[in-house]
Structure 1
Amino acid sequence: MSRKRFWIATGGLATVLMACPARTPAPPVTPPPLQVPPGCEKSQTGTYHHADNPAFRYLGEDDGGTLTLAVTRAREQREAAPDAGTTVNIVLHRTPEGFVGNTQATTFTPGGIACPVLFPTEAVRCDDQGLTLRSVASTALDEDCRPAPQGPAPTWKEQRLLRGEPAQAPDAGTPDAP
């Protein structure tokens, strides 16, 4: 009889387990689609120069999600050097809100204090010739490197970066003293 009880118990247990409702798996989480200007979904890796001042050069590295542009300034008879001794980088991320990020730079207060700043920046156009960026061009800071309570509002400006080396000699600005 113990064998009979074993099979009855096993059958009862199987019936109970089969009667339990199965859990439905949660639907997969899909991230919202990226909203970048046409052409900006492609890799933007490469060298660029500023359309209005070819002395400003940009080295772009793109991993498919983030574009980093390191800014340099070319000098006559010399290799490109960091811009005015300060590091300037543009970092843009492909997101559902656009191809957005910031320009990381150093600016100075009226008293001469160096302040690291982040200027909001976005790519508004990507094509075979280059990139068009829109960025805050200037802002007012107090002596503690905080946004000044008074002063002009931040101004936005578009900048066109062209692929490759410029066709003409760069405007290297004022020559260095001999």
Structure 2
Amino acid sequence: MHRVLPTLALGLSVLSLTACPAKAPPTTETRPPPPPPIRVPPGCEANQAGEYRHAENEAFRYHGEDDGGTLTLAVLRARADGGTESPDASSASIVLERTPAGFVGQTRATGFTGSGAPCPVSFPTEVVACDDAGLTLRSVASTSIDEGCQPSRSGPPPVRLQQVLLRNTPDAGT
């Protein structure tokens, strides 16, 4: 009987060790870092959709669509009767993104070489102010392109100018 007790004790010890679940190693949860904060001028977080006109030249009209991250301004053509024509595929547009680097993007348009050949061109553009009156943009005003539609190395350096777009107020009768 003495032999049964040690064997029984050993069997129970082995059984109890194998019956206990092994301790799981600690898990380390790796989460990606949060995205950097969006940095835009005050007031630019608000929806900027709407109709605009250039403060210095009313012939330049703009239709803005804003999805909360991207503002797209289509350049409209002013008609002689005071209305505007819908933009077409060759019209200029301004596409701006709210990013950690600011409210930035580009103006896309058609430029012309010295011989008159059309070329797609784009200019860096940024929003520097948003308020109830409208938007203030800073953009390269013009550029020189060569016959291969590439930026000309011999032209003047690009100059950034501020452009003020005034928000059109809806007519009281409509």
TM-score (norm 1): 0.82
Please state whether the residue corresponding to 2:81 is helix, strand or coil: coil
- Measure how far apart 1:62 and its partner are: 0.3
Aligned partners of 2:26, 2:144: CA distance in 1, in Å? 61
TM-score (norm 2): 0.84
The residue aligned with 1:129 is 133
Paired amino acid for 2:19: T
Pairs within 5 Å for 1:73-84: 73-77=77-81, 79-81=83-85
Percent of matched pairs sharing the same residue: 53
Which one of 90, 102, 106 corresponds to residue 94 of structure 2?
90
Which one of 155, 161, 165 corresponds to residue 165 of structure 2?
161
The residue aligned with 1:174 is none
- Measure how far apart 1:77 and its partner are: 2.0
Q: Which has the larger radius of gyration?
A: 2
Pairs within 5 Å for 1:29-178: 29-77=33-81, 79-81=83-85, 86-164=90-168
The residue aligned with 1:24 is 28
Please state whether the residue corresponding to 2:19 is helix, strand or coil: helix
Aligned partners of 2:77, 2:170: CA distance in 1, in Å? 13
Contact 1:67 1:93 in 2 (8 A): yes
Aligned partners of 1:84, 1:90: CA distance in 2, in Å? 14
- Measure how far apart 1:21 and its partner are: 2.9
Stretches of structure 1 lacking an aligned partner (at least 5 in a row): 168-178
Q: What count of residue pairs does the alignment treat as equivalent? A: 161
- Measure how far apart 1:92 and its partner are: 0.2
1:27/1:166 CA distance change after superposition, 3 Å: closer
Aligned partners of 2:157, 2:73: CA distance in 1, in Å? 26
Contact 2:51 2:62 in 1 (8 A): yes
The residue aligned with 1:9 is 18
CA RMSD of aligned residues (A): 2.3
Paired amino acid for 2:42: P
Paired amino acid for 1:98: G
Aligned partners of 2:169, 2:58: CA distance in 1, in Å? 8
Stretches of structure 2 lacking an aligned partner (at least 5 in a row): 1-7
Paired amino acid for 1:71: V
- Measure how far apart 1:84 and its partner are: 10
Please state whether the residue corresponding to 2:18 is helix, strand or coil: helix
Aligned partners of 1:131, 1:44: CA distance in 2, in Å? 8
- Measure how far apart 1:6 and its partner are: 5.1
Contact 2:40 2:98 in 1 (8 A): yes
